[in-house]
Amino acid sequence: MFKDLIKNKVVISILSCSIIITSTYIVKASGYEAGSNMDPVVTKSYVDMKIDELAKNVNQVIEKINTGNQGNGTQVKPEAKPSNTLEIVSIKAGQSIILTSGSEIILRGGKGSIIDSEFGGIADLTQGVDLRKGYDAPANHLLMIPRSDGRGINAKTDCIFMVKGEYEVK
């Protein structure tokens, strides 16, 4: 009987200590601000607030880039970049259109012959072949210039092209 009494007191004292320690931590944790290092569980409003702050920062950076101001008083000069839109180009018989690397061209009307270089011809992306000097430029095929080394099309008759990228008419 005495053993049971001692056993019960030990169990009761362990439970009491556990309750006191747990209560202390609960009271201490309730004083932490949500989202702090001490309380990393965050609320939706906290996440939304941080996303809004990030969006403002991103918008400021984009605005600086668009205005060309990098924040240190220097102006950024825009680089010359090829146009990303198709341009309609008409050339007369005997003229040539020379394109730069990555430019695309489609012959829409007339007849022309390929101008190649020692490194190869013009890539016909529609048919999947390399067009070399002397070949007739196929109508309505997407042609791409792989290098800026004088490749293009010589007009046998008056021609109309759709061009994307940089070119020169000679």
Instruction: Output the six-digit token pair for 105.
Output: 């061209």
Q: What is the pLDDT of residue 32?
A: 63
| Local structure of 107: helix, strand or coil | strand
d(CA 80, CA 87): 17
Question: What residues have CB less than 8 Å from 111, skipping those under 6 apart?
Answer: 136, 137, 155, 156, 157, 159
pTM, full prediction: 0.52
Which residues, other chains included, contact 147 with Cβ-Cβ below 8 Å and sequence gap of 6+?
Answer: 101, 117, 119, 120
Q: Is 162 helix (H, G, I), strand (E, B) or coil?
A: strand
Task: Answer yes or no: are the C-beta atoms of 68 and 77 closer than 8 Å.
Answer: yes
Q: What is the pLDDT of residue 39?
A: 62
Residue 78: the pLDDT is: 42
* Mean pLDDT per 10-residue interval, the chain, length 170 residues: 72 85 75 63 78 84 71 44 77 94 94 92 92 92 92 95 92
Integer distance in angstroms from the first to the last C-alpha of the chain?
115
pLDDT for res 68: 62
What are the tokens at 43?
A: 């609320």
User: In the prediction, which pLDDT does 116 show?
Assistant: 92
Query: Which 8-state DSSP code applies to residue 160?
Result: E
d(CA 93, CA 159): 7
